[in-house]
Each structure stands twice: as C-alpha cells, then as structure tokens.
Amino acid sequence: MSSHYQIVICSCPDKEVSEKLAQILVAKQLAACVNILPNITSVYRWQDQVETAQEYLLLIKSMSSQYNLIELLIKENHPYKLPEIIAISIDNGSFEYLNWIASCHI
C-alpha cells in the first residue's frame, strides 16, 4: 500500500514562490500537505560555475499517481529555468497518516 505515496522535493528562490506553489498544490488536491522549510543553503553547479543560493524547500506529500500533474504545475509556476523536482516513494508510514493523504485526493 505504501508504494502509492510519495514526497516530492522542490527548492524555491523565496518565501512568496514557495507559499504560492504550496497553496496551489493543496487547493487543487494534488498534495495533502506541503511543508515549507526556510533558509536552506544550496550549493550546486550551473553553467560550469559553482553557485550558492539561499532557498526554501518544499516537501510535498502526495499520491504517486499525481506526480505528472505536480511536475507540470511546478514547471508552469516556478521562476527557475530548471526547477528541482524529485519524487521519493514512501516505503513505510503510519497507516492513519497514509490514509489521510489518500483522502485528500478525492
């Protein structure tokens, strides 16, 4: 049962973008919950340069069946040319919590 659930990770440049994406994802019932983690430091390679940025990280709890729609929504509403969108399967979790995630996608 747990393989039907996922956490999608997405970094955002600021609070406004992260809150906008979180609100849209939950309102459209693509996510049951989105945690916004502020003040992360990302170090990454972009166009042959090592860059450092202060970002916000979204932890999007959802059904795996919603991944394609979540990816599309993020790409349509994200300012980055190449936004981070990574899905991680949830292998185990509280039965009640996983059922709650499923109930949010009706």
* pLDDT tens track for 52-85: 999 999 999 999 999 999 999 999 999 999 999 9
* Mean per-residue pLDDT of the chain: 95
**Domain assignments of the chain as residue spans, ordered by start:** 2-103
Contact between 63 and 105 under an 8 Å Cβ cutoff? The reply is yes
Does 22 have pLDDT greater than 60? yes
pLDDT of residue 106: 61
pTM over 0.75: yes
Q: Where are the beta strands (DSSP E) in the chain?
A: 5-12, 33-46, 49-63, 86-89
21, 4, 34, 32: which is closest to 79 by C-alpha? 21
Q: Which CATH architecture has domain 2-103?
A: 2-Layer Sandwich (3.30)
DSSP 53-67: EEEEEEEEEEEGGGH
